[in-house]
Homo-oligomer: A and B are copies of this chain.
Amino acid sequence: MKKPFSRKYDKGNIEVVTKGDTHHMKPRNPKHKLLLGPGPSNPDPRVLRAMSEPTLGHLDPDFVAIMDETTELLRYVFGTENELTIPISGTGSAGMETALVNSLEPGDKAIICIAGVFGERMADLAGRMDVEVIRVDAPWGKPVDPEDVRLAVKQHPDAKIVAIVHAETSTGVLQPLEEIAQLAHENGMRIVVDAVTSLGGMEVPVDRLGLDFVFSGTQKCLSCPPGLAPITVGERALEFIRNRKTKCPSWYLDLSMISRYWGGERFYHHTAPINMIYALNESLRIIKEEGLEARWARHKLNQKALIAGLEAMGMKLVVDPEYRLPSLTTVYFPEGIEDVPARMKLLNEFGIEIGAGLGDFKGRVWRIGLMGTNSTKPNVLFLLAALEDVLVSMGARVPQGAGLQAASEVYRGA
């Protein structure tokens, strides 16, 4: 970009003075692409339109009504009656930080289950808080072993929380949440759950398991742009927040203050991201219209068809069948295929984005997301057709039409 300058030009009979040089700038016209990576996924067009509704003041009675409705819809999606169920004004990682800074005090011990990038992130985050982190590790692509958690809980009965990623976005593994939540609660510990890639795509059993802190992000199975982190806080956790001895180390994410704005008091904390909340409101309405159970079943069916297609094309799945995430599938791509050129071909020729492998899986694995609005039969068949074309054009041996046929059979049998 050059330095600003002034220029006069004629536009009909109106003289326009242009002070900057934005008319020389490339137009910002992002093309529609099909986002089948680990997120963001494509928002429903209704959600994008909602974002451009007129901005209201953050204490305007009309906006307050939208806030109330949004929390009510969030409770539906989280399966909870928790009063403190709100969107945090940041992306999913801000939700993670909110959960940890509000569930721990300096000197506390935290048991953290680590089986990928997002478990590591929780450990990094807790480590910044003068908290002793007890790691329970699992190999990449595997679930955490509840027996290891049982051992950690026994060895550290003074730990205050157990933290677990429900749906590990870096590996596509669904973690054994039920057993681990039970272990935590039997030993008087609170459980902190990352539900970023599960919420809206499968059950997140908040009230059924009495989960204490559960956070998510808007850009995965809620089909809303990134920018908000829904969180729900149970009664036991709220009790801790009310009685903590030290202030929450973060002001921006301090739930004791934020809850006074979202609760009846409407006490000003920070200016809510108004238009993002319109978007979340609309995306939650769409989920309510479909119904949670129907939505979860849809995610399962499309995942099943995708997997049948990938396997018929000769590819191997990373995760054992019982731990596969309905919303995110990790697959070893064929040997001899170069990672980046193949994904770029898919993006440039077909407008489809899929995700690279992270950490241990870098350069060996692709991550394919079928999240929210994107989890459909047309998308599965389109992706399989495009993948076949890209792989064959790059020299891989893929049995012709086998992927599409296998996926179609799943749909016919459903």
Contact = CB atoms under 8 A, between A and B. Distances in A.
Given A30-B62, A227-B227, A288 B56 contact: no
Of A55, A62, A89, A248, most B-chain CB atoms within 10 Å:
A55
Interface string A50-66: 11111111101011011
Interface stretch (A152-160, A179-187, A273-281, A317-325): A273-281
A18 B289 CA distance: 6
A57 B255 CA distance: 30
Of A72, A249, A275, most B-chain CB atoms within 10 Å:
A275
A49 interface: yes
Given A30-B54, A94-B252, A276 B276 contact: yes
Interface string A123-151: 01101110000000000000000000000
A241 to B, nearest CB: 15
A56 B30 contact: yes
Interface stretch (A21-29, A303-311, A401-409): A21-29
B30 A66 contact: yes
Interface in A250-283: 250-252, 268-276, 278-279, 281-282
A329 interface: no
A28 B25 CA distance: 36
Nearest to A124: B251
B278 A28 contact: yes
A184 to B, nearest CB: 23
Given A57-B353, A251-B121, A30 B63 contact: yes
Interface string A300-344: 000000000000000000000000000000000000000000000
Stoichiometry (number of copies): 2
B289 A19 contact: yes
B90 A89 contact: yes
A201 interface: no
A42 interface: yes
A250 B121 CA distance: 12
Interface in A88-131: 89-94, 96-97, 121, 124-125, 127-129
A43 interface: yes
B40 A55 contact: yes
Chain A residues touching B, majority SS: loop
A294 interface: yes
A357 interface: no
Nearest to A19: B291
A83 to B, nearest CB: 14
Nearest to A62: B30
Given A219-B271, A270-B93, A276-B273, A33 B56 contact: yes
Nearest to A6: B291
Contacts of A250: 97, 128, 250
Contact of A271 (B1, B49, B92, B288): B92
Nearest to A93: B270
B48 A225 contact: no
Contacts of A128: 247-251
Nearest to A100: B251
The 6 tightest CB contacts between A and B, nearest first, are A19-B291, A20-B288, A227-B273, A93-B270, A48-B52, A225-B275
